[in-house]
A and B are shown apart, each in its own frame.
Chain A
Amino acid sequence: MRMNIELATKIIDASIEHAKTIGICCSVAVVDEYGWLIALHRMDGALSPTADIARDKAWTAAVFKKPSADVAMFGVPSQPGAGFNTSNWNDRLTVIPGGLPIHLNGEFLGGVGISGGTPEQDTSVCKAAISRLTDGQV
C-alpha cells in the first residue's frame, strides 16, 4: 500500500479536527514515502510561514523514517553524523518537533507535518491524527 490522496485527506481532516479541539490554527502537510508532497492544507488564521514549515517537517519525518525532533540526534558532536546539517537537504531539513512518520499495518507510508502551535501541540496533533488513522476512526 502507498500513500494516496484519500488517505492524505483523512489524515488532514483528523489533524484539523484535533487542532480545533486544542485551539490552535495550523498547517498540515502529508508526504509520500519519498518525501514528495501529496497534500497541504492551511487552516484559516494559521500564519503564512506555517505552510512551508509543516511541509519541511513532513519531509524530514518521511525521509528519515523517524520523528523530525529525533533527527537532531545525528547532529550531536559525539555522533559520527556530526556536521550533517551542513549538507544541502533540498533546503527542507528541520529538527523542529511536529513531524511524524506514518505507519499503517506495519507498512511505512510517508510523513505528516504540523506547524502552527507550540512544538508540543504540533506533535500532539500529529499523534492524534495518526492514532485515529491506525484505529480506523477516520
Chain B
Amino acid sequence: MTEITLEMARKALRASRRWAKDIAGVPCSIAVVDKSGIVVAAERMDGAGAATIDIAIEKAWSVISFQMPTLLLARMIDPRFIGQQLGDHGMGLVTKGKGRLTFIAGGVPILSEDAEIIGAVGCSGVPSGVGDISDTSVAQAGVSALFD
C-alpha cells in the first residue's frame, strides 16, 4: 500500500459512512485525500450541513500539510500549551495556508506499512465530546477499514 486509489478511498468512505450512521447516528461529510493533499473522493451524507464537505476536505488537507492528525494541530494553537510544548508561535498558524488550515479534530492520516503518510481521511459534521462519537472516530473507522 503506497498510494491511495479511488477504490481504497471508496472503501474508506463506505466504512466511515456506516460508522457515522450506525454508531454516531449523525449525518456528516467525509473526504479522502492522497499524499499530495488533493481529494480522491468526498461525500456528504443526506442531512449533513452543506459546508461540512468543505471542512472535511480541508481537515484532510491539513493532515497532509503538517503530517499529523488535526487533533494534534488543535493542541498547537491551544493557549494552555503555548510556551510549553511547541514554542510560542502556534497561534500565528491560524492565518496560514490561505485559510485552509483547519485546527479542528477530525482529520486522520493513512499510514503505509513503512509508517509513511500516504493520505488522509477527514470528517466533519459530528458533534464531538460524547465518548467515541466524534469526527475523529468516524474518520478513523475509514482508515481502519483499509487494513482489514
Q: Which positions in A face B, CB cutoff 8 Å?
A: 4-5, 8-9, 16, 32, 34, 36-44, 48, 51
A38: B residues at CB distance < 8 A:
43-44, 53
Contact between chains at A42 and B50 (CB < 8 Å): no
Q: Binding site of A, secondary structure by majority: helix, strand, loop or mixed?
A: mixed
Q: How far is the CA of A129 from the CA of B43 in the complex (A)?
A: 18
CA distance A50 to B115 in the complex (A): 29
> Pick the contact of A41 from B6, B36, B44, B54 — CB < 8 Å?
B6
Seen from chain B, the residues whose Cβ lies within 8 Å of a Cβ on chain A are: 5-7, 9-10, 36, 38-46, 50-51, 53-54
- A8: chain B residues at CB < 8 Å are 43
B41's contact among A36, A42, A48, by CB below 8 Å, is which? A42
Q: Is A37's CB under 8 angstroms from B6's CB?
A: no
Residue of B nearest to A55 (CB): B39
Complex Cα gap A94–B120 (Å): 29
CB <8 Å contact, B46 and A40:
no
Taking CB atoms, residues of chain A closer than 8 Å to B51 are 36
- Asked if residues A34 and B50 are in contact (CB atoms below 8 Å), the reply is yes
CA distance A38 to B43 in the complex (A): 6
Residues in A whose Cβ lies below 8 Å from that of B54: 37
- A51–B43 CB distance below 8 A: no
Contacts of A44 in B (CB 8 A): 5-7
**Residues on the A chain within 8 Å of B41, using CB:** 39-42
A36-B50, A42-B6, A43-B6 as given contacts; A5 in contact with B39, CB under 8 Å: no
Query: What are 20 inter-chain pairs, A to B, with CB distance below 8 A?
Result: A4-B46, A5-B44, A8-B43, A9-B43, A32-B50, A36-B50, A37-B44, A39-B44, A40-B43, A41-B10, A41-B40, A41-B41, A41-B42, A42-B38, A42-B41, A43-B6, A44-B6, A44-B7, A51-B38, A51-B39
